[in-house]
Amino acid sequence: MDISKGLPAIQGGLHIWITENQKMVPVPEGAYGNFFEEHCYVILHVPQSPKATQGASSDLHYWVGKQAGAEAQGTAAAFQQHLQEELGGQTVLHREAQAHESDCFCSYFRPGIIYRKGGLASDLKHVETNFFNIQRLLHIKGRKHVSATEVELSWNSFNKGDIFLLDLGKMMIQWNGPKTSISEKARGLALTYSLRDRERGGRAQIGVVDDEAKAPDLMQIMEAVLGRRVGSLRAATPSKDINQLQKASVRLYHVYEKGKDLVVVELATPPLTQDLLQEEDVYILDQGGFKIYVWQGRMSSLQERQAAFSRAVGFIQAKGYPTYTNVEVVNDGAESAAFKQLFRTWSEKRSRNQKLGGRDKLIHVKLDVGKLHTQPELAAQLRMVDDGSGKVEVWCMEDLHRQPVDPKHHGQLYAGNCYLVLYTYQRLGRVQYILYLWQGRQATADEIKALNSNAKELDVMYGGALVQEHVTMGSEPPHFLAIFQGQLVIFQERAGHHGKGQSASTTRLFHVQGTDSQNTKTMEVPARASSLNSNDIFLLVTAGVCYLWFGKGCNGDQREMARVVVTVISKKNEETVLEGREPPHFWEALGGRAPYPSKKRLPEEVPRFQPRLFECSSQMGCLVLAEVVFFSQEDLDKYDIMLLDTWQEIFLWLGEAASEWKEAVAWGQEYLKTHPAGRSPATPIVLVKQGHEPPTFTGWFFTWDPYKWTSHLSDTEVVEGSPAAASTISEITAEVNNFRLSRWPGNGRAGAVALQALKGSQDSSENELMRGPKSGGTRTSSSVSSTSATINGGLRREQLMHQAAEDLPEGVDPARREFYLSDSDFQDIFGKSKEEFYSMATWRQQQEKKQLGFF
């Protein structure tokens, strides 16, 4: 293939090539997600918009099948290298091995990856098959990233902990192991539906065996094909997922040549800093042996860059790591988000990355509440749902119970206490809530426990609608400061009767931080000269006077806010003091003069790390995360607990059917504790429930549909689908009877008559395996279901639209009446092809059918 001629046609999106006769040929889009184990593939992902999660970098993957030969591997490797040279340095390279792919790779293929046995015929353009003339068994496994592997058509392939799909062309039976979770079952079913829609054009019946005793008819079909099961099922296979503690082990190595030898020298362990990477060198970063990164400096030689993969492979062999260990090669200035977040800090060097900036300026602009409500991306960047002008209620934990705080003392918090702060506001005509759980540094373990239990009680009182944000003293988010309008004061001692602190000293020093009502807080600090700072303002309260000390570096806005704070802290006579003109009594109150920071403070750089989304689960008591790269709202499933890391905050999204809500906060804390970059444990953790997402969360998604989860579809419709939802089990039984199963011989194998009945009549419409279902045209088929037989050319639209189920033509399935339209009528009414329609989420299909009279 001529690379230079092929590249101009490459636009944003996904492109896949497969090895065939010592060359690479493109894979049709309809076959994406199918991988033959005797082949190698090259996958290129090009961001489709400036807001793409990976920035402007493309991702180039080299995938090796388990049975791929040296010739195929060489062809794919050469093609990848040529493609890389044409694409330039803004490309991240990946080496992938079958069944051990990176999260980035798996994120392209939803609802899952299909591994197919063997290889393809020599001329792909003429490889055709009858999709209904098939018998195979697929082993489905995985949580967020699902894969299906063709296995032996035998009961010996089954185990109690996974899902298996018996695919008989016209009938697809999903068998759920007794140890599988409800989320695994739902995701397995999503993959089953995808196979049905892509490979059968939606014309196959689906049955689900969740309890063998309750599905005798489906089990009869399975036993007709697989024979009687002898003995018990194998136990569930233990998961080998890498937990966060293992991923926290990171080591940086310097790689260079000395004569004919390759030298690898360990350079550093966490916390890593970016300045360790020199632009003229090449480095290997080993993340717990589960992933190997190769970083190439922009001034490194061409020879070094071309040898990146071979050096990584040599390193893997020297360490004794598995041959399937994932490898990612990143270039200076085009690093992936996952690589950058292995370092404590990261400063963008390339001008292209500066486009992600602008947040520094946004922080100082006067807030426009209307824009925060209509532009969730702005709310997310500023961490502000509004300007803080909503209703505020405060409770203090006293004797392990919550006691309301008098409004005149709102904003006066004590380091030895814990507080609940409930904020109520309206957004787009809807009342919403944020409950802040503020934890003082000197609070006891019992008080922290009481804080959490009281928060749960309040959440129940408000019908589960509270967004709960855990805040540690000293790390308050901007919106928390804004709701106190610049008058937040944190006292060091513990409150007795709230509002009357128990001070052991008559001299107290307060540090005023901030420039306006939306970012100002005042904290009590040790009353000594070394606590001062030339860039800020301090309030010194003595027995007879209150000194307002202005450092040389403070500005007019700071001074105005400080004068407001004085009235909250002290009613004594106020005396303004400028740095360098302090009266003797000022220094005497602080115990004498002492050095303090006086250099001009540079503006703090706002972190620009890209947000990352992970699915959370637990294995042997340890947190396991699966990242979803290029994420969207579709990646949030009601069975999930998802962690969104925006660097400044950790969001934990709780699906309405998730079973491990109690673990969520602990998982967020473990994530911070084990993060290779040495994250602050005081980073705010926000609990967000499905259907109650604030704009500070939704703004990190490219698009967000606030009505996505308001559809009144039942759990059965969404999760179980047809035929369990569309036809009911009794109707499945009626369809099973059409198979006319014969009794099996005594040896347990299915008889010839039974197998022939299962195969059914041949479909006269043949499709290319590589092309998937074709758009347009009319299909004729003899379906498994007598109620699914289609009429050549389709039924008239008036026979199907706005009709009661009993008034439909004989043989029409009421739940899929739209399918009986001709392709041209379907396109005219729905504005899309049947293939496009059935690739949509089930809830969206139902929504359109209701609107158009097909429900």
| Second-level CATH architecture of 612-699 | 3-Layer(aba) Sandwich (3.40)
Q: Between residues 240 and 315, which one has the greater pLDDT?
A: 315
The whole-angstrom separation of Cα 559 and Cα 536 is 9
Highest average pLDDT, of 194-208, 716-730, 804-818, comes from: 194-208
pLDDT at 451 over 90: yes
**Average pLDDT of every residue of the chain:** 83
pLDDT at 63 over 80: yes
Tokens 């970098």 appear where?
57
For residue range 295-319, what is the model confidence (pLDDT) as tens digits?
A: 999 998 888 888 888 899 999 999 9
Beta strands in 215-296 (DSSP E): 250-258, 261-268, 282-287, 291-296
Q: Identical fold at 13-123 and 244-344? A: yes
pLDDT at 790 over 80: no
Least confident of 142-151, 189-198, 382-391, 846-855: 846-855
Alpha helices, H only, 122-242 = 182-200, 216-226
With the CA atoms of 148, 153, 154 and 156 taken in that order, what torsion angle do they form, in degrees rounded to the nearest 10? Answer: -40
For 13-123, give the CATH class.
alpha beta
Task: Report whether CATH 3.40.20.10 matches the domain 127-226.
Answer: yes
Q: For residue 133, what pLDDT is reported?
A: 79
Query: Percent of the chain, pLDDT > 90?
Result: 57
CATH of 244-344, one of 3.10.620.30, 3.40.20.10, 1.10.3720.10, 3.20.20.70: 3.40.20.10
The residues spanned by each domain of the chain are 13-123, 127-226, 244-344, 612-699, 797-852
pTM: 0.81
Angle between helical axes of 752-759 and 216-226 (0-180°, round to 10): 110
Tokens 């035929």 appear where?
723
CATH code: domain 797-852 is 1.10.950.10
Q: For residue 737, what pLDDT is reported?
A: 45
Q: For residue 498, what pLDDT is reported?
A: 55
Q: For residue 732, what pLDDT is reported?
A: 39
Task: Take residue 218 and report the two structure tokens written for it.
Answer: 């489906």
3-state secondary structure of 308: helix
Least confident of 152-161, 363-372, 514-523: 363-372
Q: What angle do CA 685, 689, 691 make, to 5 degrees?
A: 140
For residue range 556-598, what is the model confidence (pLDDT) as tens digits?
A: 888 988 888 888 898 888 899 999 999 999 999 999 999 999 9
Average pLDDT over residues 55-79: 92
- Is-contact 782 44, C-beta < 8 A? no
pLDDT at 782 over 80: no
Sheet-wide strand order for 418-427: 401-404, 391-398, 418-427, 430-439, 466-472, 685-689, 650-654, 641-645, 612-619, 622-628
Task: Take residue 117 and report the two structure tokens written for it.
Answer: 């046995």
Q: For residue 606, what pLDDT is reported?
A: 66
The whole-angstrom separation of Cα 508 and Cα 500 is 15
How does residue 499 score in pLDDT terms, banded at 50, 70 and 90? low
Q: Between residues 124 and 639, which one has the greater pLDDT?
A: 639
